[in-house]
Amino acid sequence: MLRLYRSLLALYPAPYRREFADEMLSVLAQVEEEAAHATAWSKISLRTREATGLLLGALTEHARPLTGLSNAPVHFPRRSRMRSEFRFPKATAILMTVILVAVIMAIEKAKAISASLPPSSTPIPPIQPEHFSTVTTFLVILALAFSSAIAGWLVVFMLRRSGVQRFSDVRPAGTAAHKS
Amino acid sequence: MNTSSITEPVLLILLSLAERPRHGYAILQDALEMSDGRVRLSTGTLYGALNRLLKDGWIERYDGADQSRGKQSYRLTATGRRNLQAEVSRLKQLARVAGLRVARKET
């Protein structure tokens, strides 16, 4: 088991390893000594927790200089303080990352398609603008605004931040008092 | 690190070192005992926190205790103790208000 822990410790950044690897191995050896007398289930639970802790710790230490979160408690799930109402939701960050990746992939795909096409000898004529009437233009803008609003609301709904969901969480003042 | 970012594992580590200098395994055992078996820190989590606390000057290495088998001990600095006292005061005040509110609701 110590071999597995040692290989997980190898995932940490070199300066961190130099500073803490020996101490951590010593602690892990003591934890293993303690686990020798435990039940099979306790051993599995303890080793899973230690391996996950090392893996997450290695990821955190690598991410720290990249994210600039040198002082943020990024790998502590249990906070003794309550969450702020105005925290940037994690789901939004994930959604934005997914969109960014999709855009980059679309650009790369477009470049690949462009490169695979044979060079055309005939010049492409200039694109002529369509002539819309005022009413058509207004309807197109209205349709675009409406579809954007629906898309925005869907995103808000998925993030459980819509007005409907917020209202459903609100309890009238004094409800408990009436019940008792 | 300011006191607003103290998490429960960090608080337990600081409380463990507030009593006397301790090495890694002793901190794990003490945190488990203080939390009545609820918080069992992993070694990765413990050393991530110790690294951060060392960098922020809340704790320091202590060479006075047993250093066999790589048992490096740590102790609170004056800054760490001051910040811990501030956090404990905040928690006391919160617990006092919580007690009053809960009592008011039940009557």
pLDDT digits (tens, 9 = 90+) for A93-146: 777 888 888 888 888 888 888 888 877 666 677 777 666 677 888 888 899 999
The answer to whether B22 touches A28, Cβ cutoff 8 Å, is no
CB of B37 within 8 Å of a chain A CB? The answer is: no
- Residue A177: the pLDDT is 44
Interatomic CA distance for residues B38 and B48, integer angstroms: 20
Dump pLDDT digits (tens) for B36-61: 989 999 999 999 999 999 999 999 99
Q: Which of B7, B48, B71 comes nearest A80 by C-beta?
A: B7
Tell me the domains of chain B and their CATH numbers: 3-106 (1.10.10.10)
What domain range is A157 assigned to?
Answer: 88-116+148-171
Interatomic CA distance for residues B64 and B73, integer angstroms: 8
Interatomic CA distance for residues A93 and A18, integer angstroms: 34
Residue A22 placed within a domain: yes
Provide the CB-side half-sphere exposure for B30 (13 A, CA).
Answer: 19
Q: Is A26 helix (H, G, I), strand (E, B) or coil?
A: helix
Residue A81 placed within a domain: no
Interatomic CA distance for residues A99 and A140, integer angstroms: 25
**B61 vs chain A: nearest CA distance in angstroms?**
12
- Residue B70: the pLDDT is 62
Is B25's CB within 8 Å of A25's CB? no
Is A72's CB within 8 Å of B5's CB? yes
Residue A33 placed within a domain: yes
- Same domain for A62 and A13, yes or no, is yes
- Same domain for A50 and A19, yes or no, is yes
| Residue of B45, B63, B66, B89 best to disrupt the A interface, most CBs of A under 10 A | B45
pLDDT at A74 over 70: no
- Same domain for A50 and A97, yes or no, is no
Q: Searching chain B, which residue's CA lies closest to the CA of residue A22?
A: B70
| A89: nearest Cα among A164, A168, A161, A169 | A161
- Same domain for A103 and A33, yes or no, is no
- Same domain for A26 and A100, yes or no, is no
- Same domain for A35 and A98, yes or no, is no
Look up the pTM and report it.
0.59
pLDDT at B75 over 90: yes
Query: Per mean pLDDT, which range of A7-11, A20-24, A49-53, A77-81 is the poorest?
Result: A77-81
Binning pLDDT at 50, 70 and 90, where does residue A173 land?
A: low
Residue A121 placed within a domain: no
Residue A109 placed within a domain: yes
Interatomic CA distance for residues B39 and B35, integer angstroms: 6
Residue A129 placed within a domain: no
- Same domain for A101 and A165, yes or no, is yes
Residue A133 placed within a domain: no
Sign of CA dihedral A81, A82, A83, A85: negative
- Same domain for A17 and A53, yes or no, is yes
Which residues does chain B have within 8 Å of residue A54's beta carbon, measured at their own beta carbons?
42-44
- Same domain for A104 and A58, yes or no, is no
- Same domain for A52 and A111, yes or no, is no
Phi first, then psi: what are they for B73, rounded to 5°? -95, 160
Binning pLDDT at 50, 70 and 90, where does residue B96 land?
A: very high
What domain count does chain A have?
2
